[in-house]
Amino acid sequence: MNKPVCQIAAALVHHPVYDRIGEVVATSVTSVDIHDIARACRTYGLNRYYLVTPILAQREMVDRVAGHWSEGAGGKAGHPRGPALELVRTVHDLQSAIEDFQLTFGIRPQVAVTSANPMRDATSFADLRKTIESGKIPGLLIVFGTGWGLADSIIEKSDIRLEPISGPTEYRHLSVRAAAAITLDRLMGVSIY
């Protein structure tokens, strides 16, 4: 019997997120967020990386960058960015990412949100890793927030709230790129020795 497989995608949300004073805003998409998180998604075997922004011009920018490296001149040159940027899709809100996932994989994903702050009824990384490996859930969408974090409206509608990433200090200000990489490593990373 084949091992049960969980289809996994990541979403990086640029709206609705908080700014430093707690207002709901739309942040700008940055080039480094496209590339770094796409490369981490490819490393850890994810099937899609959704960039979520209501701003059409920014979705068009992302599509141009991803197209260049996956199908255009950059892709033809065989640069390793190609296989990573093939995973990129742009959507105007998180609901559209869920719908695209469902259309693509035939599964409604469980939505797991992340935060630098503890959330109620949080799930540990170890527990979610076990759930993925057990094949108990067939689809998972891991959601990261830019700015000062995902708005409560996103968190309230989620199925799974992941524990915050911690080191041995009280400092909790990782970049979203670092947090996404660590999250994927904690859930899907392996040691070869």
- Token pair 């992941």 is found at 162
Using a 10 angstrom Cβ sphere, with 0-12 exposed, 13-18 middle and 19 or more buried, the burial of residue 67 is: middle
For residue 41, the minimal CB distance to a copy of itself (Å) is 10
Q: How many residues at the interface with a copy of itself, by CB under 8 A? A: 47
CB 45 within 8 A of CB 9: no
Residue 122 in the binding site for a copy of itself (CB under 8 A): yes
The window from 10-18, 62-70, 100-108, 115-123 that contacts a copy of itself (CB under 8 A) reads 115-123
What 8-state DSSP symbol labels residue 22? S
Q: Which of 126, 130, 153, 157 binds a copy of itself (CB under 8 A)?
A: 126
- For a copy of itself, give the closer residue by CB, 23 or 99: 23
Q: 165: closest CA among 137, 184, 191? A: 184
Q: 142: closest CA among 175, 182, 169, 171? A: 182
148: which residues sit within 8 A by CB, 6+ positions away? Answer: 17, 18, 19, 20, 22
- For a copy of itself, give the closer residue by CB, 103 or 193: 193
Residue 83 in the binding site for a copy of itself (CB under 8 A): yes
Q: What's the rounded Cα separation, in Å, for the pair 25 and 19?
A: 6
The window from 52-60, 76-84, 102-110, 151-159 that contacts a copy of itself (CB under 8 A) reads 76-84
For binding to a copy of itself (CB under 8 A), which residues are involved?
32, 35-36, 39-40, 42-45, 80-81, 83-84, 118, 122-127, 163-169, 171-175, 177-182, 184-186, 188-193
